[in-house]
Amino acid sequence: MHKIPLFAQLSRQDFEEIASQMYSRTYQKDEIILEQGQIPHALTIIHKGSAKAYRITPDGQEKILYIFSKNDFFGEQYLFSGKKSAYAVAALGPVQVCSFTKEHFQKLIYDHPMLAIYFIEELGRRVVQLERAMQSTGGSRVDVRIAALLLDFIEKYAVNTPRGAEIILPLSREGMANYLGIARETLSRKLSVLESEGILCSHGNKRLLVLRPDVLAKRAREE
């Protein structure tokens, strides 16, 4: 718990104080951690596992906005403004989270202005990430976006094997297609092409062995 980067810079004493205010909880796959339209009452930090943030559109479709994994947090932008959450968050597998209530979070920020700055930086990072995603989603070919997603997954969800990086997929094909904003079938086809090109190798539905990350990187750059 003391490894959470958000608090890495705090003194031991401050840290103890904060730790005593946190509460931990686990969720199972598909359990809702935060509902869309609800006013979040806490800041939630993912400690183990991963979760998806998604919006339900007026016509009932789901659109995934983020995949949260270890050390990502959410709920912070609503803690001061008291607005309703624009998205829901659901566990993609067993997830362990730590939470702070709104009151504790506010007190924390007032007592430790440094943390406010950390939050500004962290939000800035998220903005940068979204900007990058926007850029590729908005301006690029589907192949490029897929390459970028796979590279992202290698960083976050892969284990090294003798033959290359093996991604333990946090999402089904359907989820990935949704996240990329394309049809399930299109993703299948593109992955098949990558497999026939010898760039990757599918191991069942939940694992992807990436043999040539260099080729993917090259494609992701061609925007």
167: its two tokens: 């991604």
For position 162 contacting its own copies by CB under 8 A, the verdict is no
For position 183 contacting its own copies by CB under 8 A, the verdict is no
User: How far out from the chain centre does Cα 143 lie?
Assistant: 21
8 contact, one of its own copies, DNA, none, CB 5-8 Å limit per kind: none
Quick note: the x/- pattern for DNA over 182-211, rule CB under 7 A, is: xxxxxxxx-xx---------x-xxx-----
Report how far residue 125's alpha carbon sits from residue 103's, in angstroms, rounded to the nearest whole number: 25
Q: Which helix (H) or strand (E) holds 196?
A: helix 184-196
Using the rule CB under 7 A, give the single segment among 12-20, 30-38, 62-70, 173-181 that binds DNA. 173-181
Report how far residue 144's alpha carbon sits from residue 149's, in angstroms, rounded to the nearest whole number: 9
Q: Which helix (H) or strand (E) holds 105?
A: helix 102-111
For position 150 contacting DNA by CB under 7 A, the verdict is no
Identify the residue among 1, 8, 32, 117 touching its own copies (CB under 8 A): 117
Provide, rounded to whole angstroms, the least separation between the CB of residue 98 and DNA.
27
Q: What is the DSSP letter of 31?
A: -
For position 177 contacting its own copies by CB under 8 A, the verdict is no
For position 135 contacting DNA by CB under 7 A, the verdict is no
Report how far residue 180's alpha carbon sits from residue 187's, in angstroms, rounded to the nearest whole number: 9
Size of the site for DNA (CB under 7 A): 21
Beta strands in the chain (DSSP E): 23-27, 32-34, 42-48, 51-56, 62-68, 73-74, 88-91, 95-101, 158-161, 164-168, 200-203, 207-210
Using the rule CB under 8 A, give the single segment among 22-30, 32-40, 134-142, 189-197 that binds its own copies. 134-142
For position 61 contacting its own copies by CB under 8 A, the verdict is yes
Q: Which of 77, 96, 118 lies closest to 28, judged by CA?
A: 96
Residues that bind DNA (CB under 7 A): 141-143, 172-174, 181-189, 191-192, 202, 204-206
Residues that bind its own copies (CB under 8 A): 55, 57-59, 61, 63, 65, 76-78, 80-81, 86-87, 109-110, 113, 116-117, 119-121, 123-128, 130-135, 137-139, 178, 180-181, 221-223
